[in-house]
Structure 1
Amino acid sequence: MAKDRKKRKEIRRKLLHKYRLVILNESTFEEKISFKLNRLNVFVTGTLFIIVLIGVTTLIIAFTPLREYIPGYSSTRLKRQATELTYKTDSLVTVLNYTNRYLDNVRLVLRGDIENNQVNRDSLFEQYKLDPSTVDLTPIREDLLLREEVELEDKYNLFERNIENMGTLLFSPINGTLVQAFDAKTKHYAVDLVAPKDTPVKSIADGTVLFAEWTSETGYVIIIEHQEGLTSVYKHNGSLSKSQGDLVKAGEVIASIGNTGELTTGPHLHFELWRKGKPVDPQNYIDFN
């Protein structure tokens, strides 16, 4: 016990033993500043300094933009921007894929180059067949009134008719003479209609203009997308009345008969009709007589 007490006294003496720190002028040895210190003061002061330094560093990292310069830390704003850029990139990839498919379809229509050129005419009308024996055709009073009302409203309204309700009946693009029919064997996926130059060319149904430009082989070309997967193509026009992206109505003038392009032999309309990416005989859908 005496040894332990003596040892503690020795440690206390060393901790409290005072030292003097003097700063002198090197030339004159004049005393400028002096401090009285002991080991305990130095230890406490150093500890407090380290704690304050750690606290200040923590505050800087937590509440100032300087933390962005520390390896391993990233900015919330940068994370948000990175997320937004990721979404935009995904959207751009989707739009690019759609645009590429659109351009491929336009090239396919313009070249008339397909792999499967076998068109079964009967199969096109199979979905429209209806067995009368399975349907009660006796009209009721409400049905008759509705029919009269619709006929009255739609009597003089050509553009507002619903093409789907007319089955495969579409408007003829021009009043002309059919000089060459659809022939899949010779890859003539169209009908050629002769008419006087500048005769108005009309849309066969409501739709959206997919393409309206000049091509070297087929002159002024306009392509319109309709419902039910139908796409109509009008080539060798003298001029175009619509631009890409325009909405057109059935029977609306979209171009005029011309003699443009390297593959033309006179004023006529080269008319193609595509259904779900494959060419079909327009005469199966349109009465050109």
Structure 2
Amino acid sequence: MAQPNNFRKRWLQRYRLVLHEEQSYKERWQITGARWGLTAASGGFLLSLIGLTYFVIAWTPLREYVVPGYVSETSRMRAIETELRADSALAALAIQDRYLSDLRKVLSGQEVVNDLEPAILDSSALSETEKGLNEWGLTDEDLALRERLEDEDRFALQRAQSVEQVSKSIPFAPIQGEISSEFNPGIGHFGVDFVAPIGSIIHAVDAGTVILASYTSDGGYVVNIQHLGNRISVYKHNQSLLVEVGDRVQAGDAIAVLGGTGTLSTGPHSHFEWWVGGTALNPVQWLPDYAPEPLN
């Protein structure tokens, strides 16, 4: 029993700390206390210091410099924004690359394959959807509104199809003359050849911007015009050009003089191509003066 009593006595025994002057030994300051009090005070001071340190590091900008690898919220948001912009830039770059690739194929006389397939609605899936809507407890008014919206969408699709037909049409003929060579993509002939006197004027078939006006070995003097609706008109084997890249033209404007330049030319004529959505179309079907008469 002696040892526990001595231990308790040592911790409860009070001590006094006194500060004296060196010369006169005059008492200047003193403090009294037991060991347990000093220990408690030291522990409280230590906990306070830890809490203050945590507050300074966790809730002040100092944490950016103290904590290794810490990324501030502002930097994190900037990184996310930068990543989103990079993804958008990559998507835009992919579209631009696809456009340039299709344009190179157009200029070289190759056929552009459209690999986008239209979506097909599954009737069974639609019936399951309608069943699910009924199970949700939709009223007759809700179902009637849904049917009306579906009818409007159907009419909008029909209007879009009619607009597409109009967009493929060619408002103005490039030249008045006889067709000497028909459209035949199977042999790489993606347009039609018009025969007319040498020196005849070639006209722009619609309003647009000249994207190519130069000489090529096979096509001779060539003019390409970009029109609205992702349409491109191509005019080859000209004797001379009347426009430059970047010029804005209107339907019927003079753009070139008929000739027979280029290695693929067999004589004076005008080779005309009509590309819509990256696909070569038969211009005869869309030219106002050359389109076949509808059957009665």
The bucket for the TM-score relative to the shorter chain is 0.5 to 0.7
Match of 1:11 in 2: 11
State the partner residue of 1:263.
264
> Given residue 270 of structure 1, which amino acid in structure 2 is its aligned partner?
H
TM-score by length of structure 1 reads 0.59
Query: 1:106 maps to which residue?
Result: 103
SS of residue paired to 1:17: strand
Note the residue ranges of structure 1 that are not aligned, 5 or more in a row.
Answer: 23-33, 117-161
The Cα of 1:60 is off from its aligned counterpart by: 3.6
Instruction: For 2:6 and 2:94, locate their aligned partners in 1 and report how far apart those are by CA, in whole Å.
Output: 88
1:55 deviates by 0.5
1:283 to partner: Cα distance: 2.4
Q: In structure 2, how many angstroms separate the alpha carbons of the residues matched to 1:20 and 1:222?
A: 105
Alpha-carbon contact 2:190-2:280 (below 8 Å) kept = yes
Where do 5+ consecutive residues of structure 2 fail to align? 21-28, 114-162, 292-296
Q: Answer yes or no: is the 8 Å Cα contact 1:177–1:195 preserved in 2.
A: no
What pairs with 1:36-185 in structure 2 (closer than 5 Å)? 39=35, 40-41=37-38, 44-45=41-42, 47-67=44-64, 69-71=66-68, 73-114=70-111, 168=169, 170-176=171-177, 178-185=179-186
Q: Deviation per CA, 1:171-213: give whole Å up to 9, x if none.
A: 111345544333345332222234434x543221234555555
How many Å apart are 1:62 and its aligned residue? 1.7
Change (3 A) 1:229 1:257: same
- Matched-pair identity in %: 30
- Quick one: which amino acid aligns to residue 78 of structure 2? Q
Q: 2:253 matched to which residue of 1?
A: 252
Count of aligned residue pairs for this structure pair: 230
Distance 2:167 2:10 in 1: 114
Residue 206 of structure 2 contacts residue 252 of structure 2 at CA under 8 Å; is this kept in 1? Answer: yes
Query: Kindly tell me: are residues 170 and 74 of structure 1, through their superposed partners in 2, closer, same or farther at Cα, counting changes over 3 Å?
Result: same
Q: In structure 2, what is the equivalent of residue 232 of structure 1?
A: 233
Counterpart Cα distance in 2 of 1:235 and 1:167 = 20
Once superposed, what is the RMSD of the aligned Cα atoms?
4.4
Q: Distance in 1 between matches of 2:231 and 2:167?
A: 15
In the TM superposition, what is the alpha-carbon distance from 1:92 to its structure 2 partner? Answer: 1.3
In 1, Cα distance between equivalents of 2:66 and 2:8 = 49
Q: Secondary structure of the equivalent of 2:252?
A: coil
- Does the Cα contact within 8 Å between 1:68 and 1:75 map onto a contact in 2? no
Deviations, residues 199-231 of structure 1 (Å, cap 9, x unaligned): 543221234555555544324433334466653
> 1:81: how far off?
1.5
Distance 1:9 1:212, change over 3 A: farther
